[in-house]
């Protein structure tokens, strides 16, 4: 049946083909070919329904289907002898530096001219797995020898600090104790005082300071209570002056609707006394201040913008004068990345009540007389705007302009000469006191940092300030221009060097040399102190991972310039020594 059907089909196709050829030949003989037009009414547009899905495993229904035979595989492992030996790999063109050895303890000792001695020790002792004891001891001293000093100019500064820290599962904690002993001399008395050489020799210019400090801190993880610090310091001198200072600073952190809220509290208490006023040994000076503050702030970040917005409220109580004040300060800081890490703009407004202390003043100017009036400084606001970023991957910059308003800003002023007897060691036209004034400051600041490579780093900065005083004739002892340059260079694996340069511009102080009871005359004027450049260099040689030697040169540029009126400093200073690292 299938063969008959196929024959008929071939017969029909052959007849149709012959008819077509005959028809074509007939038209050609007549020489007339008809033109036909094909009109497409609508192009074919396939639809989804026209397609059919091919099954992943189609079912085959064919008599010729062959069944797959099941095959079982067995794998037998046996060793094959091989004479191939791979070559060891080598890194091409890669130079690596060995990791420096780290030690828990460091000690250094140096000696120089002016009988200068420097000693340092920093150590750590692992008590157990989670607790550690740290020790820090520093000492600097000199037997003096300044060319223009009329009185003994030796000094001595030693500090010992112990800290104990521990780590628990959800928090870390620490405790510390410190002791400091300092000896300075009011050696800045001029050589033209109306006294005899015998009286000069009888002056005792020595002034000793001591400080004892205790503190503790805790840092909690995954808690609303974030961290807290508490510190206490007792500070005094050999003139029966004494001061107690306590600070407590707890901090809280929590989230509200995906926003991070910080709430910081502060309690700052200081009280102290001086046995006498300047020129009046029968009068006593006392001070007592207690400041309570709260500082809420909101941290916001969106894309290239980061913002911290908040404020600080402070309630200040003056215990000696029964005077209480309430202050509100802005705490706003914003940063916007204009071009990623290459350029960012930042701005803000800041302020705060600065608790001044005898300790802080004495660390900045050790030649103060123990007859000071201590009061806090009201920093009403510090408004600033700036830009920072990178010029290249190795050069970064920071430029900032600010306007600062401060009420009761403390200024150092030279004490006058009093022609009365007997005198204390600080009443020979050789000490400083404090004057408070309302000062507005406009300041421009700029800094460049060069990280040429991992062996050489350089940083240079400068600031220019102008001051507007309300009561005083000048902004005493405040320089308009300041600058610094610091560099570190790892010359080779063994040799290293560094340099630091500090520039301080002209300052002005009040020169009050009153001799009215003696000769009916007085000299009162504004004394201008010249600018100076303090240049320091150091070179070291690393003998091995533990032992190194160094040579330092200080004040290599300006000689014995005056940092404070009447106080020349040591001229060129050279010191040599060694440092050693070790483990217990």
Q: What is the CATH number of the domain that holds 483?
A: 2.40.170.20
117 pLDDT band (50/70/90 cuts)?
Answer: very high
Answer yes or no: are the C-beta atoms of 377 and 357 closer than 8 Å.
Answer: no
* Span 38-50, average pLDDT: 46
Instruction: Tell whether 166 is covered by a domain.
Output: yes
- pLDDT at residue 116 is higher than 70: yes
Instruction: Tell whether 34 is covered by a domain.
Output: no
Specify the range with the lowest mean pLDDT, choosing from 147-151, 239-243, 244-248: 147-151
* Span 351-360, average pLDDT: 97
**Structure tokens belonging to residue 17:** 């083909």
Rg of the chain over Cα atoms, rounded to whole angstroms, equals: 43
Instruction: Tell whether 312 is covered by a domain.
Output: no
Q: Which bin fits 94, alpha (ψ -120 to 50), beta or left (φ > 0)?
A: beta
Instruction: Tell whether 380 is covered by a domain.
Output: yes
Instruction: Tell whether 144 is covered by a domain.
Output: yes
* pLDDT at 281 (0 to 100): 87
**Helix H or strand E encompassing 8:** helix 2-30
Degrees to nearest 5, angle at CA 288 with 283 and 290: 170
- pLDDT at residue 1 is higher than 90: no
7 pLDDT band (50/70/90 cuts)?
Answer: very low
Answer yes or no: are the C-beta atoms of 425 and 367 closer than 8 Å.
Answer: no
CA atoms within 13 A on the CB side of 50: 4
Residues 6+ apart with CB under 8 A from 228: 217, 218, 248, 249, 250, 251
What is the rounded average pLDDT for all residues in the chain? 86
State which residues form the domain around 167: 105-213+338-346+366-582
Closest Cα partner for 405 from 382, 424, 375, 423? 382
* pLDDT at 98 (0 to 100): 54
Residue 350 β-bridge partners: 382
Instruction: Tell whether 231 is covered by a domain.
Output: no
* Span 68-83, average pLDDT: 44
374 pLDDT band (50/70/90 cuts)?
Answer: very high
Closest Cα partner for 430 from 568, 257, 331, 528? 568
CA-CA distances (angstroms) from residue 189 to 29, 143, 207, 242, 414? 142, 18, 14, 26, 11
**254-267: per-residue pLDDT in tens?**
888 778 899 999 99
Burial class (CB in 10 A: 0-12, 13-18, 19+), 537: middle
**Structure tokens belonging to residue 218:** 């805790």
Closest Cα partner for 163 from 173, 153, 171, 154? 173
- pLDDT at residue 2 is higher than 50: no
For residue 558, which phi and psi values (nearest 5 degrees)?
A: -105, -5
- pLDDT at residue 480 is higher than 60: yes
User: Rounded to an integer, what distance in angstroms lies between the CA atom of residue 155 and that of residue 158?
Assistant: 10
DSSP state of 116: E
* Span 103-112, average pLDDT: 95
Sign of the torsion formed by the C-alpha atoms of 376, 377, 378 and 379: negative
Whose structure tokens read 């030996």?
85
Q: How many CB atoms lie within 10 A of CB 58?
A: 7
**Helix H or strand E encompassing 360:** helix 358-364
294 pLDDT band (50/70/90 cuts)?
Answer: very high
Instruction: Tell whether 237 is covered by a domain.
Output: no
Pick the residue with more confidence: 419 or 298?
298
Answer yes or no: are the C-beta atoms of 187 and 206 closer than 8 Å.
Answer: no
- pLDDT at residue 518 is higher than 90: no
* Span 184-208, average pLDDT: 92
405 pLDDT band (50/70/90 cuts)?
Answer: very high
Instruction: Tell whether 157 is covered by a domain.
Output: yes
Per the structure, how many domains does the chain have?
A: 1
* pLDDT at 208 (0 to 100): 97
3-state secondary structure 305-321: EEEEEEEEEEEEEECCC
User: Rounded to an integer, what distance in angstroms lies between the CA atom of residue 380 and that of residue 331?
Assistant: 11
* pLDDT at 97 (0 to 100): 53
CA-CA distances (angstroms) from residue 61 to 2, 56, 57, 67, 68? 21, 16, 13, 12, 15
80 pLDDT band (50/70/90 cuts)?
Answer: very low
User: Rounded to an integer, what distance in angstroms lies between the CA atom of residue 442 and that of residue 463?
Assistant: 10
Q: How many CB atoms lie within 10 A of CB 106?
A: 16
Residues 6+ apart with CB under 8 A from 58: none
DSSP state of 362: H
- pLDDT at residue 34 is higher than 80: no
User: Rounded to an integer, what distance in angstroms lies between the CA atom of residue 250 and that of residue 360?
Assistant: 23
* Span 455-482, average pLDDT: 97
* Span 543-554, average pLDDT: 96
B/e letters for 16-52, b = 16+ CB within 10 Å, e = fewer, are eeeeeeeeeeeeeeeeeeeeeeeeeeeeeeeeeeeee
């Amino acid at each position: 049946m299938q063969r008959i059907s196929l024959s008929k089909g071939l017969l029909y196709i052959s007849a149709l083909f012959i008819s077509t050829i005959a028809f074509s030949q007939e038209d050609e003989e007549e020489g007339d070919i008809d033109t036909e037009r094909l009109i497409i009414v609508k192009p074919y547009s396939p639809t989804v329904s026209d397609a059919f899905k091919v099954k992943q495993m189609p079912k085959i229904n064919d008599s010729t289907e062959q069944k797959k035979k099941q095959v079982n595989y067995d794998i037998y492992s046996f060793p094959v002898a091989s004479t191939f030996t791979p070559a060891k790999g080598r890194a091409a063109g890669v130079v690596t530096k060995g990791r420096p050895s780290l030690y828990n303890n460091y000690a250094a000792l140096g000696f120089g001219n002016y009988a200068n001695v420097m000693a340092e020790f920093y150590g750590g002792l692992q008590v157990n797995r989670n607790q550690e004891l740290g020790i820090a001891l520093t000492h600097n001293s000199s037997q003096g020898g300044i060319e223009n000093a009329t009185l003994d100019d030796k000094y001595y500064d030693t500090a010992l600090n112990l800290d104990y820290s521990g780590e628990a599962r959800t928090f870390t904690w620490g405790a510390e104790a410190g002791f400091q002993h300092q000896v300075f001399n009011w050696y800045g008395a001029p050589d033209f005082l109306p006294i005899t050489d015998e009286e000069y020799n009888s002056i005792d210019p020595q002034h000793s300071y001591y400080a004892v400090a205790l503190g503790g801190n805790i840092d909690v993880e995954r808690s609303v209570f974030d961290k807290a610090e508490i510190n206490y310091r007792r500070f005094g001198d050999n003139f029966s002056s004494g001061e107690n200072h306590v600070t407590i600073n707890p901090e809280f952190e929590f989230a509200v609707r995906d926003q991070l809220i910080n709430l910081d509290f502060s309690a700052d208490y200081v009280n102290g006394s001086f046995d006498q006023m300047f020129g009046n040994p029968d009068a006593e000076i006392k001070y007592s201040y207690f400041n309570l503050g709260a500082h809420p702030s909101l941290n916001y970040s969106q894309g290239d913008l980061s913002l911290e917005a908040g404020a600080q409220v402070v309630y200040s109580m003056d215990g000696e004068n029964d005077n209480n004040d309430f202050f509100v300060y802005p705490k706003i800081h914003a940063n916007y990345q204009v071009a990623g890490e290459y350029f960012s703009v930042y701005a803000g407004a800041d302020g705060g009540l600065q608790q001044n202390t005898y300790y802080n003043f004495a660390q900045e100017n050790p030649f103060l007389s123990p007859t000071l009036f201590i009061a806090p400084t009201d920093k009403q606001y510090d408004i600033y705007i700036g830009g920072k970023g990178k010029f290249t991957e190795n050069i970064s910059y920071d430029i900032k302009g600010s306007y600062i308003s401060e009420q009761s800003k403390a200024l150092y002023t030279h004490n006058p000469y009093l022609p009365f007897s007997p005198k204390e060691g600080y009443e020979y036209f050789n000490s400083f006191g404090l004057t408070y004034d309302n000062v507005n400051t406009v300041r421009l600041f700029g800094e460049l940092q060069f990280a040429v490579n991992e062996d050489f780093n350089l940083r240079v900065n400068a600031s220019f300030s102008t001051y507007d005083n309300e009561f005083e004739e000048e902004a005493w002892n405040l320089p308009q221009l300041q600058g610094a340059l610091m560099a570190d260079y790892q010359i080779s694996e063994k040799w290293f060097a560094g340099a630091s340069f500090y520039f301080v511009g002209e300052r002005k102080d009040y020169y009050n040399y009153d001799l009215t009871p003696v000769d009916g005359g007085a000299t009162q004027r504004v004394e201008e102190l010249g600018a100076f450049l303090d240049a320091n260099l150091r070179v070291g040689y690393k003998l091995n991972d533990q032992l190194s030697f160094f040579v330092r040169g200080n004040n290599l540029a300006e000689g014995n310039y005056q940092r404070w009126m009447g106080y020349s400093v040591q001229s060129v200073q050279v010191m040599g020594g060694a440092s050693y690292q070790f483990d217990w």
